Amino acid sequence: MKLTTVSMLSAIALFVATLPHAVGAWLVKSTHQEVGCKQLFAIQPIDHKTKAKIFARYRVNEMFKNGDRQWSALAKLWGKESAWNYKAKNPRSSAYGIAQVLNTPRNSTIEYQVNKGLKYIVHRYGTPERAWAFWQRNGWY
């Protein structure tokens, strides 16, 4: 099997997204991963769920000291809310997208949805772990 530059970049991005917080944070600062992710997404056909998870993992590592625990909670939370579907619709409210935040525009990007969802979580719960704990008790967040 011959590996192309694109497939190698894709493998590296997926690997970095799964690294422990300290190592991942160092690599993010060292390699400018956000720019790299955007370039990778532009040239490599990555499915929407993978793209969302890579970007969300990057943002969680950037925002929280204990990124591994926060990522684990966020992955479960948004897995339950939308199954990481950026087009998920709630038939009973205006909630839409990956994070199922109210009034999310229907044509919004994955990056917009992840950022809006994390902003909501920080504002309302402080951390994804706390949001996940609330979801487990109530079935919503």
- 48-58 pLDDT tens trace: 999 999 999 99
Listed by start position, the domains of the chain span 5-138
pTM: 0.71
Q: Which residues of the chain have pLDDT under 50?
A: 1, 3, 5-6, 22-32
Q: How many CB atoms lie within 10 A of CB 2?
A: 4
Q: How far apart are CA 2 and CA 23, in angstroms?
A: 29
Contacts by 103-106, CB closer than 8 A, 24 or more apart: none
pLDDT at res. 29: 47
